[in-house]
Amino acid sequence: MLAIILSGVALTLGIAGLSSQASASTTKTAFSNIKADATFEYNQYTKVTAYHAKSTKQSAYIWNDTHTKKLSNLKSHPTYTWFQTATATKGNAKWIQVSNESQTIKGWIWSGYLKKGYNTQGYQVISKRFGPCYGEGFYHVTSSQKNAYLWDWSHTKKRVNLKHYLNQSLLRSHTVVMQHNGQKGTYYYTTVKTAKGDVSGYVSASLVEKGYSTYYAGVTARDPLTFATTANYLDYIKQSKYQKLTQEIMALFPNTPVDLGLSQIAAYTYGAKTIEDGDSDLDPLDQSGYTDIVPFKSVVAYLYNHRTASNATKIAGVKKLLAAAGYPAAKRAKLTDYKLGIYNINNISIDNNGEGKTAWYSLAIGKTN
């Protein structure tokens, strides 16, 4: 009886397997002798075969694999360049599978409707490159007076004007070269945060500068490692409305100038921070270049434990703890040969934390070598 049952199972599985194989081997297509071309898919623009419509007035349809549905009409896209992704035959005719640059339209078209080469109308992407030299790094817009549009891939739709987002640092995803009227221009693909959500597109490389934005008004928080100089960091503290507590603590050390390097060390080595999903504990930084560092651990712990308190309450507590640590106002006023390391996120909601508020406090003094 067991053998019979097993045989039945085997027979059932065998039939199912044959059915699956038959289905896979009879995938419907109206085309023969199909030869794939992956140069466009792999962004090999020096090897791609590009086409454009012979006529912008004549209907020339792109079809699905079974030649039963019209997917698009070349006449509706007079400025598009079409990239070859495969070749085939249908009867005695040569057909080409093509895709537009954004890969939103892909299908088969009779080769007689096409002419080799990039379209001479509109903007054409003739190069796309990724990797460290072309797809990394932050950039920013420097002028609120000059338009800096973020365009779609065809350079026909303005998605947003970046001059209204001076305080954002734009991460470059990749780089393209666009050709227009015989002239070539370099564009970066990036994303900007707007009130309606993230918006992505291409901006001319000539309209942005490398590095993080140095316009800090409206910025909720910036990681201390993203500042290039102490002057940049001080501008941030001065311009951001969320840095009032930092300004008040700085005033407690009237003759001790803020130092970016020491502030980074204070934040990462001695700071107290809300741990968010995906975060790990803070990694201590190398302290080369600094000596006699005095971290005010009791102050940092107090600020973090009282992160929901008012600034007035926090400052009162900080004064008491500094005095208890041997640094009353009179002594603090004499710390002219020291530098101040300070970095705070004062219990606020920031863009990359959707689960609540972030608090990060740090304070230290030290000398430079």
Question: Is residue 308 domain-shared with residue 258, that is, in the same domain?
Answer: yes
Q: Is residue 18 part of a domain?
A: no
> Does the pLDDT value for residue 6 go beyond 60?
no
- Please state, in angstroms and rounded to a whole number, the distance separating the CA atoms of residues 73 and 335: 75
Asked if residue 322 and residue 241 are part of one domain, the reply reads yes
Cα separations in angstroms, 352 against 278, 279, 298, 358: 11, 11, 28, 10
Same domain, 323 and 266: yes
For residues 102 and 137, membership in a common domain is answered with no
Query: Residue 60 belongs to a domain with what CATH number?
Result: 2.30.30.170
Q: What is the number of domains present in the chain?
A: 3
Asked if residue 231 and residue 363 are part of one domain, the reply reads yes
Give CA separation, 145 vs 55, 161, 162, 201, 209, in Å: 42, 11, 11, 21, 15
Q: So what's the pLDDT on residue 366?
A: 99
247 and 196: one domain?
no
Under the banding of pLDDT at 50, 70 and 90, the label for residue 350 is confident
Q: How confident is the model at residue 16 (pLDDT cuts 50, 70, 90)?
A: very low
Largest interatomic CA distance in the chain: 98
User: Mind listing the pLDDT tens digit for each residue in 141-162?
Assistant: 989 999 999 999 999 999 999 9
The answer on 348 and 239 residing in a single domain is: yes
In a domain, 7, yes or no: no
Tell me the pLDDT tens digit for each residue of 21-35.
443 345 689 999 999
Regarding whether 133 and 111 lie in a shared domain, the answer is no
Q: What is the pLDDT of residues 74-102, one digit of tens each?
A: 999 999 999 999 999 999 999 999 999 99
Residue 15 falls inside a structural domain: no
Same domain, yes or no, for 76 and 134? Answer: no
Domain end, chosen from 87, 116, 145, is at 116
- Cβ-count burial of 119 within 10 angstroms (0-12 exposed, 13-18 middle, 19+ buried)? buried
User: Does residue 4 belong to any structural domain of this protein?
Assistant: no
Name beta bridge partners: 180. 183
| Same domain, residue pair 130 and 262 | no
pTM of this prediction exceeds 0.85? no
For 313, phi and psi rounded to 5 degrees? -65, -40
Residue 218 in any domain: the answer is no
CA–CA gap between residue 310 and residue 125 (Å, rounded): 54
Among the listed residues 291, 298, 273, 306, the one whose alpha carbon sits nearest the alpha carbon of residue 338: 291
Q: Is residue 292 part of a domain?
A: yes
Judgement on whether residues 69 and 188 belong to the same structural domain of the protein: no
Both 275 and 152 in one domain: the answer is: no
Query: What CA–CA distance (Å, rounded) separates 369 from 354?
Result: 41
Domain that holds residue 255: 224-368
Question: In angstroms, rounded to a whole number, what is the distance separating the alpha carbons of residues 140 and 216?
Answer: 12
Last residue of a domain, one of 210, 245, 270: 210
What's the mean per-residue pLDDT of the chain? 92
Would you say residue 309 has pLDDT above 50? Answer: yes
**Residue 186 lies inside a defined structural domain of this protein:** yes
pLDDT in tens, 191-241: 999 999 999 999 999 999 999 999 998 899 999 999 999 999 999 999 999
- Asked which of 116, 135, 153 is the last residue of a domain, the reply is 116
Q: Within a domain: residue 8? A: no
pLDDT bracket for residue 295 (50, 70, 90): very high
The answer to whether the CB of 208 falls within 8 A of the CB of 202 is: no
CATH of the domain at 189: 2.30.30
Position 351 confidence tier, pLDDT thresholds 50, 70, 90 = low
pLDDT (0 to 100) of residue 15: 39
